[in-house]
Amino acid sequence: ETGVTQSPTHLIKTRGQQVTLRCSSQSGHNTVSWYQQALGQGPQFIFQYYREEENGRGNFPPRFSGLQFPNYSSELNVNALELDDSALYLCASSLYPTQPQHFGDGTRLSIL
């Protein structure tokens, strides 16, 4: 059984650029959630996708967007990067939205 995989593992960008992070869900899972974890904090919910539709969104601006593909993999896009976007971005998949979430190893994004 393949777990949740994220790419890339590390990324360095400058202010104003755009970035795309990718996530492959665990086999059989149709729900993907994205979280942002700033240094020293717990993860914060960005949004969730269930069967290719957005199924809830946290308190993040519209420049954070995403999508889910028919194979249930997902992308997180962030436009107009700001210094405060520097964080660990975690993707989690679950069998259904109410089921336990399993996390990937994250993408560490640094904004210069």
Contacts to other proteins by CB under 8 A:
33, 35, 37, 41-45, 48, 50, 55-56, 58, 88, 90, 92, 96-103, 105-106, 108
Q: Which is nearer to other proteins, 44 or 86 (CB)?
A: 44
Q: Which is nearer to other proteins, 38 or 80 (CB)?
A: 38
Q: Which two tokens stand for residue 32?
A: 């993907």
C-alpha pair distances (Å), 44 with each of 16, 20, 63: 22, 18, 16
Q: Which is nearer to other proteins, 24 or 33 (CB)?
A: 33
Q: How far is the CB of 79 from other proteins (least distance, A)?
A: 22
Looking at this protein, which amino acid is placed at residue 10? H
Q: Are strands 107-111 and 10-13 parallel, antiparallel or unpaired?
A: parallel
CA angle 45, 49, 54 (to 5 degrees): 95
Q: How far is the CB of 83 from other proteins (least distance, A)?
A: 20
